[in-house]
Chain A
Amino acid sequence: MSFDDIKQLLIDKFGEAVIVGEERTGMQPALLIDAERIADVCLELRNNPKTYFDFLSCLSGVDYGVEADRFGVVYHLSSIPYNLQLVLKVSKEAGRDLEELPSFPSITSVYRAADWHEREAFDMLGIYFEGHPDLRRLLMPDDWEGYPLRKDYANAEYYKGIKID
């Protein structure tokens, strides 16, 4: 299965609208997926006997910068039986308000590996995953304020009244 075959397979299954675009600039081409359909797409890619993308290598939350005001998630899937790799990307425009986080569907129902990765993305970048069973902070303390990996994050000066040096 080449990259184009996989793309065609997804179009046949879900229609044209599911693929928003593609990136072929680098060595690893990526499919840009409609953010609301990502869980369905992952489930199809995992279960389809032609692809069997059964292994979630990596899930990264991305803050595309203060000017872009865009948040995204990048999924690196790999297929152990066919030795394939695939990059999926979703992104949406979102403000930087801490009360109104960008939100994407969770893929924990497809890959349990996504559980901690999504918690990490929530913790570090403030990306909310709809349908995640236990979306707590993972690396930072539960009552930490702000999301450290955001590009506009200002270092906290105090934690619980203790000065941070």
Chain B
Amino acid sequence: MELQTSKYNLALERYQKKIADASVEDMVLNMGPQHPSTHGVLRLELITDGEIVKEVIPHIGYLHRCFEKHAEALTYQQTIPFTDRMDYLASMNNSHAWVMGIERMLGIDKDIPKRIEYIRVLVCELNRIASHLIAIGTYGIDIGAFTPFLWCFRDREHIMGMLEWASGSRMLYNYIWVGGLFYDLPVGFEERCREFVDYFKPKMVELNRLLTDNQIFISRTANVGVLPLDVAINYGCSGPVLRGSGLKYDLRRIDNYSAYPELEFDIPIGTGQMGTTGDCWDRYKVRVDEVDQSVRIIEQCLDRLQKELKRTPDFDPRAKLPRKLTPKAQDYYIRCEGTKGELGFYFIHDSDRKEIPFRVKSRGPSFCNLSVLEELGKGVLIADLIATIGSLDFVLGEVDR
């Protein structure tokens, strides 16, 4: 098909010419979309000179489902299952962000019972551990260590089982609702969760011995893919990628939403322990440390859920559910700390009577974290590029939405 030449096509023509020229002098190598180390359907077009990558051109959109268009046609409550499918490894965190945004627009965010807030934080942190376990495990595979992957999946399976028990689904939960929850936690959940925590803590020590302090792993990741802090900020990186570059920036502390101000936890950052600050090992280590912090948060949540916020027979998690979700006409941007970084939703609500947003924009953390790859991929070895991709830990469901 012939494209008409206008100024809107100039960039496309420049790009096509660049690829045509590069295939004469250098080699153009397509990595993906079905490549196992691209963590989903990501296609990277590499312009290579031997083993050296001269330029990386990411092509995304293979998983594009037009979330924003769906959101413009459905009510706020109906869109919650769609948010689950953005970052499908951490569905709870997505719906938590979405729900909080609507609660603030409705002005009911202060009326949510404490027990509900704590249950939300509990399931979100469980989900964060599950997501980080995948990041850690698959990163091991990228580097060539197979065992940690199986160990991580074994432990993650316990979390999946618990969340399935609570919500009825293994990955896409639709559990957090506007103004409440789908159901209260099942009886015995807290005890089972405590069992899991006791089981899980030594497993993390074991995993650290196997992977984190492994000399082969350190040699492959330390001083590789160094992301300086100013570049990270300018590219809009957030979450473990930004913290790996050495900045203590966690929206759970900065925005103090939900039950987080009452909970104690540290914010791990990259320190350049094995090489340079902001290298792949630092980003990996931040995730490992965050798992430990999430365990701490879960223990505190369990303490409160079993004592002062104990389950009572008349407790109804759907009691505060608004009958109609009709916020006042306004714009609102909600941001919160997803597992990959700053997860934001921008709502434009144009009418007091409508239940459907006029426009929704979702800001996926993986989207911005992935865009830095063009910068990191200049002049590195192909094998190091694999290590860098894994350390960024993106989910294509969230990049493409």
Write the residues of chain A forming the contact surface with B, with a CB cutoff of 8 angstroms. Answer: 23, 25-28, 30, 54-58, 60, 62-63, 65, 74, 76, 80, 83, 85, 87, 99, 101, 111-113, 115-116, 124, 128, 132-143, 148-149, 160
Contact = CB atoms under 8 A, between A and B. Distances in A.
Given A62-B348, A138-B61, A27 B332 contact: yes
Quick one: which of A27, A60, A80 has the most chain B CB within 10 A?
A60
Interface of A is mostly: loop
Nearest to B10: A135
B330 A25 contact: yes
Interface in B355-371: 358-359, 361, 363, 367-368, 371
Contacts of A26: 328, 330-332
A99 B344 CA distance: 32
Nearest to B335: A57
| Pairs A-B, 9 closest by C-beta atoms | A113-B236, A26-B330, A60-B361, A139-B61, A58-B363, A139-B64, A116-B371, A135-B11, A136-B11
A32 B153 CA distance: 49
A58 B365 CA distance: 10
B69 interface: yes
Given A26-B332, A74-B346, A80-B247, A143 B3 contact: yes
B66 interface: yes
A161 to B, nearest CB: 9
23 contacts: A27-B104, A27-B330, A56-B236, A57-B236, A57-B335, A58-B346, A62-B348, A80-B233, A87-B333, A111-B236, A112-B236, A112-B371, A112-B375, A113-B234, A113-B236, A113-B368, A115-B371, A116-B371, A139-B60, A139-B400, A140-B64, A149-B66, A149-B69
Interface in B211-258: 231, 233-236, 247, 249, 254
Contacts of B348: 62
B367 to A, nearest CB: 7
Interface of B: 1, 3, 6-8, 11-12, 14-15, 60-61, 64, 66, 68-69, 104, 231, 233-236, 247, 249, 254, 328-333, 335, 342, 344, 346, 348, 358-359, 361, 363, 367-368, 371, 375, 400
A112 B228 CA distance: 14
Contact of B346 (A27, A76, A115): A76
Contacts, number: 101
A90 to B, nearest CB: 14
Given A26-B331, A87-B331, A112-B235, A138 B363 contact: no
A40 B233 CA distance: 19
B61 A143 contact: no
A76 B236 CA distance: 12
Nearest to A74: B346
B247 A58 contact: no
Contacts of A27: 104, 330, 332
Contacts of B234: 54, 111-113
A148 B332 contact: no
Given A25-B329, A99-B6, A136-B11, A148 B371 contact: no
Nearest to A25: B330
B363 to A, nearest CB: 4
B163 to A, nearest CB: 29
A129 to B, nearest CB: 10
Quick one: which of B64, B344, B361 has the most chain A CB within 10 A?
B361
A108 B358 CA distance: 27
Given A80-B247, A124-B68, A135-B8, 6 more contacts: A28-B332, A113-B368, A116-B368, A136-B12, A140-B64, A148-B69
Contacts of A111: 234, 236
A55 B233 contact: yes
B3 A74 contact: no
A141 B368 CA distance: 20
Contacts of A74: 331, 346, 361
A140 B68 CA distance: 14
A122 B76 CA distance: 26
Given A99-B6, A113-B235, A135-B11, A83 B254 contact: yes
B236 A55 contact: yes
B320 to A, nearest CB: 20
Contacts of B6: 99
B40 to A, nearest CB: 14
Nearest to A115: B371
A55 to B, nearest CB: 6
Nearest to A122: B8
